[in-house]
C-alpha cells in the first residue's frame, strides 16, 4: 500500500498494447485475456525448447530494492540440499529508472490496482509446477472413509439410506445425543433428565437410561483403537528396606499410527486440502520467484520424494508433544514398528479422492517447545537442538554461522556407542545425552531438520515478553510506570485489548495478550527510549511479524533476515542504556545464555524446508492438548483416569466422524456444531472482529439506571440483523438510533460541523444541506470485508468500523461508571482526492443514513469524518507514518463521505514525547495529542501493507 509513485504507462502488453504499471500487471493481463494467452502459446510453440528443463528450486537471488536500514546488504536464496548451511548472499542494489524531473520520490500512501494481484503483492493465482504430480502412480479405485462407513452400516443392517441417523431413531434424537456427548453430561444428570415427564411424554427418546444411550453411542463408527503398554523403569534411588533401586511403572497409551494416517488420508472432506506430491508455486511464469506456504511448496518434500520408490506418494507426518517421555520409552520401541515398516515398504491406501496409492509415511516435522526439542534431539538444554554451535556463541547473531545442522547419522552412531559403553569426547562437545531415541529406526527421518520454529514460546513469550520488553522498559525514562501510563491511555481499537491497569500488573498471559502487547509496544516506548533501543525493538517486532506470514517469497524472507540483523546490530543498546546496572542479567556479555535468541537463526532455513512457521505453532497444539486432556479428565471419575480419557476421546471423535459422514451423505442438511470441528480449535489471531455482546461496548439500558450524554438517543445500541451489500460492507438492517435530529447527532457524537459538512456529500445545485432539525438514522458500526492477503490468511478478513458515544451508568441520579466512546480511525478517500488512489487517515464520528430525499443520489450510508494530514511524513527509526489533525481556516477539516470510500480501519499511536502528559486518557487523547503515528503492527494485514509492501 504505502509505496513509491509508479508510472501507470511503464509497461505494455506485446500482443494487444494494453498499458500496466508493473510487469506483474502485464503478466496478469496476459493470463486473463484469452486472445493474448493464445498468442503467447503460439509464440511459445514456435520457440525452440532448451536442452534441459529449468531448475525451478534453485533460482538465482533476485535484485531487491534497498530498504531504509542502510546496514542491510543481504538477500535470500532458496537452497536445494537438506544439509546445506544457510549463508546469506550479498544484495545487489537495484538501479532506479531515470525520472523525467530527476526529483526524489516522496513516500505517499497509494494503492496501485493490478488485476489478479493481491494487496500484499502476491498473484491471486500463482503459477504452479505440477511436474511431480505425474510421477505418483494411481493403483486403482477404492472406498474412501465415508464409503467404507456407509457399506459397513449397510452390512450391519442399519439401513442408512432410509434412516441416515441410525442407530438413533431420527435426526432430533441424534442431535440430542450429540449434545449430551459433546457437553459431558454426567451419568446421574443424564438419567435424571431421561426420567423427567417432559422427556418421557414429549421428547420420547428411544433410550430410557444412560446405559441404553451409551449402547447406542457405541454403535457409531469408531477409528483406530487405543492400546495400553506397561513399562517398568529403574531409578537411581535405593530403597532402604530392600537395598535395591526403586522401580516405577508407567502406562503408554497408543494407537497404530499407520491406521490414523489411513483414516485421515481417506477422509473426503479433506480432499481439496491434500496433496500427494510436491507442488512448487511461483510468482512468475519463468519459475524464478518461488512462493512458500504449505509443506508441499517447500524443499523437504521435493527432496524426500526422490528417496522413495518411483510412483509412490509421501505422507509427511507432523508430531507434537508436551511434557512427554518418548525418549525414555524408546528402548522397546514397540510403538513404532508399524510406522517403520510403512516407511520402508510403503502401504497401499485409499485416498480422499477415492484412488489407491502407495503411501510412505515419513516423519517431517516435530512441534515442541525448547525443553521438548532438546529431549527428542537427545541434547542438553544449554545446547542448540538443531545445530552444533558452541553455547558461548549462540547470541552473537551475524558474527557466527552454524556450518551445518546436526548430522543425524553421525549423532546416532555416537549415541549407540555410548549405549554400548564406548565413550567419546564428541558426546560432551556436542552436548548429547546418551539415550537411544525413538527416531533411530524411522526411515528418511532427520530429527534435527524436523524440529520446527515455535512462535509462541520462542518469539511471543520468550524473546518479546520475557526478555526484550523488560530490557526496553528498563532503558526508558520513567521505566515501567511510564510504559503503564501509555498503555492505559492508548487509543482503543476493536481488535486490540485495552490494558486498563497497564502491563506490569497482568498476572496471566496467553498468546493473545502477547500479541496485543506487541501491537503497540514500539509506539509505547517511542520518545522515552534511546533510538538504538527503538531500532532493536523494531528489529525483533519486524522479525516476529514476518515469521507469522502464511506465504513467503524471496522478498519476504529477505525482509525476515534483515529484521533479524537489525536486532543484532542494535541489541547492545540494552546494555548501554539499562537504568539499573546492578539488576542486569549475568549473561549479557554476548547474549549467549538465551537459547530462544539463537533459535531465531534457524527460522529462515526452516521455512525454506518445511513451509511457513505459522503452520507449526505450538499455540495450536497446546490448545488442543489442554482441551482434550482437561475435558477428558473431568469427564471421568478421576480413577483410572487415562483409560477414561481415551474412552471419552473415542466418543468425541465418533461424534465428529458421524456428523462428517452425515454431511457427506446428506449435503443438503444443515450442519450442526461438533466439538472437534469448531469448539476445541484455537481461534485464529486474525479472527478478531468483536461479537455483538462485546463488554467494551455500552449495553442496552434496563430502566433509568443508564443514560447517554445529553442529546443522545436512549434506544439500545445493539446491532440487529445485518444486511450485506455485495462484498463491500454489512450493516444493521434496522438502525439502532432512528429519526435523530442532526443537531443531536452533532452534540452526542462530537460531529460539531455536521450540518455544514453535508454540502460536500453530493454534487447538486443548489447544494443539499442538513438543517439542524433534519432527522437521520444513526448506526453504531458497520463491517468491511478486507481484500484477501495470502501472507495473512487464505480467507477474507472482517474489519469493524465503530462510532459509539460515551455511555454513563447511573443509579438514582448518581453516576456509577462510564464506558468511553469508540470512534474508529480509518483509511479513506478524501473528497479532494476522490477518484485517485490516495488514502488519508480520518476519524469516524458518526455513521448515518441520509434522509429519504437524498437516497437517489446517496444510496449508501454516510460517515462524518475528521481528517488528518496526508501520509507524507515518515519516521525512519520507527518505520511509521506520522500525521496531525488536518486544519482548514483554523478549524478541523471535516467532511461527510459514503462508507464505500472507507478502505479499512487503522490505529493511531500518540506521539508521547519523553514523558506523557498526565491529563491524557483513552477518551481524550485524540483531542489533546497533536501528532500521531500510524501503527503498522495493529494486525498482520496492516504490517503487510504499511511495512512489507512499502519496503519493496
With helix as H, strand as E and coil as C, how does 456-469 read? HHHHHHHHHHHHHH
State the chain's mean pLDDT as an integer. 79
* Mean pLDDT within 545-570: 95
What is the pLDDT confidence band of residue 73, given thresholds at 50, 70 and 90?
Answer: very low
d(CA 212, CA 788): 50
CA torsion sign for 858, 863, 869, 874 is negative
pLDDT digits (tens, 9 = 90+) for 845-863: 999 998 887 777 888 999 9
Is the confidence at residue 108, as pLDDT, over 60? Answer: no
d(CA 283, CA 117): 10
Is the confidence at residue 705, as pLDDT, over 70? Answer: no
Q: Show the beta-strand stretches assigned E in 726-839.
A: 729-732, 737-741, 775-779, 781-786, 797-804, 807-811, 814-819, 822-823, 825-828
Q: Sort 695 into a burial class: Cβ within 10 Å, 0-12 / 13-18 / 19+.
A: exposed
Question: Higher model confidence: residue 608 or residue 651?
Answer: 608
Is the confidence at residue 95, as pLDDT, over 50? Answer: no
* Mean pLDDT within 457-480: 89
Which position has the grid cell 469524518?
Answer: 865
Is the confidence at residue 945, as pLDDT, over 60? Answer: yes
Question: Which positions ≥6 away from 224 have C-beta within 8 Å?
Answer: 255, 256, 259, 260, 263
In the prediction, which pLDDT does 231 show?
A: 84
Highest averaged pLDDT of the listed ranges 433-437, 785-789, 932-936: 932-936
DSSP state of 136: B
Is the confidence at residue 695, as pLDDT, over 50? Answer: no
In the prediction, which pLDDT does 556 show?
A: 95
- Residues 758, 770: contact at Cβ < 8 Å? yes
d(CA 799, CA 782): 8
Which position has the grid cell 526529483?
Answer: 103
* Mean pLDDT within 688-699: 30
* Mean pLDDT within 384-388: 91
Minimum mean pLDDT among 275-279, 536-540, 624-628: which range? Answer: 624-628
Minimum mean pLDDT among 139-143, 159-163, 463-467: which range? Answer: 159-163
Distances, alpha carbon 502 to alpha carbons 373, 467, 527, 918, 935, in Å: 34, 18, 18, 14, 19
- Residues 823, 926: contact at Cβ < 8 Å? yes
pLDDT digits (tens, 9 = 90+) for 560-617: 999 999 999 999 999 888 877 666 666 566 687 788 999 999 999 999 999 999 989 8
Three cell numbers written together for 402: 552454524
Is the confidence at residue 927, as pLDDT, over 70? Answer: yes
Question: Which positions ≥6 away from 137 have C-beta within 8 Å?
Answer: 310, 311, 312, 357, 358
Residue 700 DSSP SS3: coil
Residue 703 CB coordination number (10 Å) = 5
CA torsion sign for 770, 772, 775, 779 is positive
Highest averaged pLDDT of the listed ranges 209-213, 426-430, 530-534, 728-732: 530-534
66 Rama class: left (phi>0) / alpha (psi -120 to 50) / beta: beta
φ, ψ at 930 (rounded to 5°):
-105, -5
Q: Sort 655 into a burial class: Cβ within 10 Å, 0-12 / 13-18 / 19+.
A: buried
* Mean pLDDT within 695-709: 33
What is the pLDDT confidence band of residue 232, given thresholds at 50, 70 and 90?
Answer: confident
Question: Which positions ≥6 away from 764 have C-beta within 8 Å?
Answer: 857
- Residues 824, 718: contact at Cβ < 8 Å? no
Residue 677 CB coordination number (10 Å) = 16
- Residues 380, 387: contact at Cβ < 8 Å? no
Amino acid at each position: 500500500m504505502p509505496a513509491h509513485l509508479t508510472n501507470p504507462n511503464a509497461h505494455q502488453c506485446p500482443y494487444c498494447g494494453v498499458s500496466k504499471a508493473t510487469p506483474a500487471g502485464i503478466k496478469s493481463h496476459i493470463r486473463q485475456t484469452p486472445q493474448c494467452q493464445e498468442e503467447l502459446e503460439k509464440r511459445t510453440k514456435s520457440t525452440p525448447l532448451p536442452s534441459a528443463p529449468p531448475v525451478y528450486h534453485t533460482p538465482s537471488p533476485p535484485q531487491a530494492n534497498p530498504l531504509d536500514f542502510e546496514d542491510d546488504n543481504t538477500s535470500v536464496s532458496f537452497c536445494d540440499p537438506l544439509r546445506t548451511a544457510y549463508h546469506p548472499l550479498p544484495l545487489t542494489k537495484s538501479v532506479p529508472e531515470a525520472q523525467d524531473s530527476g526529483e526524489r520520490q516522496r513516500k505517499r500512501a497509494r494503492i496501485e490496482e493490478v488485476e489478479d494481484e493481491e494487496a500484499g503483492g502476491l498473484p491471486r493465482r500463482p503459477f504452479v509446477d505440477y511436474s511431480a504430480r505425474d510421477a505418483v502412480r494411481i493403483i486403482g479405485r477404492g472406498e474412501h472413509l465415508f464409503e467404507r462407513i456407509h457399506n459397513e452400516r449397510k452390512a450391519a443392517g442399519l439401513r442408512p439410506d432410509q434412516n441416515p441417523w441410525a442407530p438413533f431413531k431420527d435426526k432430533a434424537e441424534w442431535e440430542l445425543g450429540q449434545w449430551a456427548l459433546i457437553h459431558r453430561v454426567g451419568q446421574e444428570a443424564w438419567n435424571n433428565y431421561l426420567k423427567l415427564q417432559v422427556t418421557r411424554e414429549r421428547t420420547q427418546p428411544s433410550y430410557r437410561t444412560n446405559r441404553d444411550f451409551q449402547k447406542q453411542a457405541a454403535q457409531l463408527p469408531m477409528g483406530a483403537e487405543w492400546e495400553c503398554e506397561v513399562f517398568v523403569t529403574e531409578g537411581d534411588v535405593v530403597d532402604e528396606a530392600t537395598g535395591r533401586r526403586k522401580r516405577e511403572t508407567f502406562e503408554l497409551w497408543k494407537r497404530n499410527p499407520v491406521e490414523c494416517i489411513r483414516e485421515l488420508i481417506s477422509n473426503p472432506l479433506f480432499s481439496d486440502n491434500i496433496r500427494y506430491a510436491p507442488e512448487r508455486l511461483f510468482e512468475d511464469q519463468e519459475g524464478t520467484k518461488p512462493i512458500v506456504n504449505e509443506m508441499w511448496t517447500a524443499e523437504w518434500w521435493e527432496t524426500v520424494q526422490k528417496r522413495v520408490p518411483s510412483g509412490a506418494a509421501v505422507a509427511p507426518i507432523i508430531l507434537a508433544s508436551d511434557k512427554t517421555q518418548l525418549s525414555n520409552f524408546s528402548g522397546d520401541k514397540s510403538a513404532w514398528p508399524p510406522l517403520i515398516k510403512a516407511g520402508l515398504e510403503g502401504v497401499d491406501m485409499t485416498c480422499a479422492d477415492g484412488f489407491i496409492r502407495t503411501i510412505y509415511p515419513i516423519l517431517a516435522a516435530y512441534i515442541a517447545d525448547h525443553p521438548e526439542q532438546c529431549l527428542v534431539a537427545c541434547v542438553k538444554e544449554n545446547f542448540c537442538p538443531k545445530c552444533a554451535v558452541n553455547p558461548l556463541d549462540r547470541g552473537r547473531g551475524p558474527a557466527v554461522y552454524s556450518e551445518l545442522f546436526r548430522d543425524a547419522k553421525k549423532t546416532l552412531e555416537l549415541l549407540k556407542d555410548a549405549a554400548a559403553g564406548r565413550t567419546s569426547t564428541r558426546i560432551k562437545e556436542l552436548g548429547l545425552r546418551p539415550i537411544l531415541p525413538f527416531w533411530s529406526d524411522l526411515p528418511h527421518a532427520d530429527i534435527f531438520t524436523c524440529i520446527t520454529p515455535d512462535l509462541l514460546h520462542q518469539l511471543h513469550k520468550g524473546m518479546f515478553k520475557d526478555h526484550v520488553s523488560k530490557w526496553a522498559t528498563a532503558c526508558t525514562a520513567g521505566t515501567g510506570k511510564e510504559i503503564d501510563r501509555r498503555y492505559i491511555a492508548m487509543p482503543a481499537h476493536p481488535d486490540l485489548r485495552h490494558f486498563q491497569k497497564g502491563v506490569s500488573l497482568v498476572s496471566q498471559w496467553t498468546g493473545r495478550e502477547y500479541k496485543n502487547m506487541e501491537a503497540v509496544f514500539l509506539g509505547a516506548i517511542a520518545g522515552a527510549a534511546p533510538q538504538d533501543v527503538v531500532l532493536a525493538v523494531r528489529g525483533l517486532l519486524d522479525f516476529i511479524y514476518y515469521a507469522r506470514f502464511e506465504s513467503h517469497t524471496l522478498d519476504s524472507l529477505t525482509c525476515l533476515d534483515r529484521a533479524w540483523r537489525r536486532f543484532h546490530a542494535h541489541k547492545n543498546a540494552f546494555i548501554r542504556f539499562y537504568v539499573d546496572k546492578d539488576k542486569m542479567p549475568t549473561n549479557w556479555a554476548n547474549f549467549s545464555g538465551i537459547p530462544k535468541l539463537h533459535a531465531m537463526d534457524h527460522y529462515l532455513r526452516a521455512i525454506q524446508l518445511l513451509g511457513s512457521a505459522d503452520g507449526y505453532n505450538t499455540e495450536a497444539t497446546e490448545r488442543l492438548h489442554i482441551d482434550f486432556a482437561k475435558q477428558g479428565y473431568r469427564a471421568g471419575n478421576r480413577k483410572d483416569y487415562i483409560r477414561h480419557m481415551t474412552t471419552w476421546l473415542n466418543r468425541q471423535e465418533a461424534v465428529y466422524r458421524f456428523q462428517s459422514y452425515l454431511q457427506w451423505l446428506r449435503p443438503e442438511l444443515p450442519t450442526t456444531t461438533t466439538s472437534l470441528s469448531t469448539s476445541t480449535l484455537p481461534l485464529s489471531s486474525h479472527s478478531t472482529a468483536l461479537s455483538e455482546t462485546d463488554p467494551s461496548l455500552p449495553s442496552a439500558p434496563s430502566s433509568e439506571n443508564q443514560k447517554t450524554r445529553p442529546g443522545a438517543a436512549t434506544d439500545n445500541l445493539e446491532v440487529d440483523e445485518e444486511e450485506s451489500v455485495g462484498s463491500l460492507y454489512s450493516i444493521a438492517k434496522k438502525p439502532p438510533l432512528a429519526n435523530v435530529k442532526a443537531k443531536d447527532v452533532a452534540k452526542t457524537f462530537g460531529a460539531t460541523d455536521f450540518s455544514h459538512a453535508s454540502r460536500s456529500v453530493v454534487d447538486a445545485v443548489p447544494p443539499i444541506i442538513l438543517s439542524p432539525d433534519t432527522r437521520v438514522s444513526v448506526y453504531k458500526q458497520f463491517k468491511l470485508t478486507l481484500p484477501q492477503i495470502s501472507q495473512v490468511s487464505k480467507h477474507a478478513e472482517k474489519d469493524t468500523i465503530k462510532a459509539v458515544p460515551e455511555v454513563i451508568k447511573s443509579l438514582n441520579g448518581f453516576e456509577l461508571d462510564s464506558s468511553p466512546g469508540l470512534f474508529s480511525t480509518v483509511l479513506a478517500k478524501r473528497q479532494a482526492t476522490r477518484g485517485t488512489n490516495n488514502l488519508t487517515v480520518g476519524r469516524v464520528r458518526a455513521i448515518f443514513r441520509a434522509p429519504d430525499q437524498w437516497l437517489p443520489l446517496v444510496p449508501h450510508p454516510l460517515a462524518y469524518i475528521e481528517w488528518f494530514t496526508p501520509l507524507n511524513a515518515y519516521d525512519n527509526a520507527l518505520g511509521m507514518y506520522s500525521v496531525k489533525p488536518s486544519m482548514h481556516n483554523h478549524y478541523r477539516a471535516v467532511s461527510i463521505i459514503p462508507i464505500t470510500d472507507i478502505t479499512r480501519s487503522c490505529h493511531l499511536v500518540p506521539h508521547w514525547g519523553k514523558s506523557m502528559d498526565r491529563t491524557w486518557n483513552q477518551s481524550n487523547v485524540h483531542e489533546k495529542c497533536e501528532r500521531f503515528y500510524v501503527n503498522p503492527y495493529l494486525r498482520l494485514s496492516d504490517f503487510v501493507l504499511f511495512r512489507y509492501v512499502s519496503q519493496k
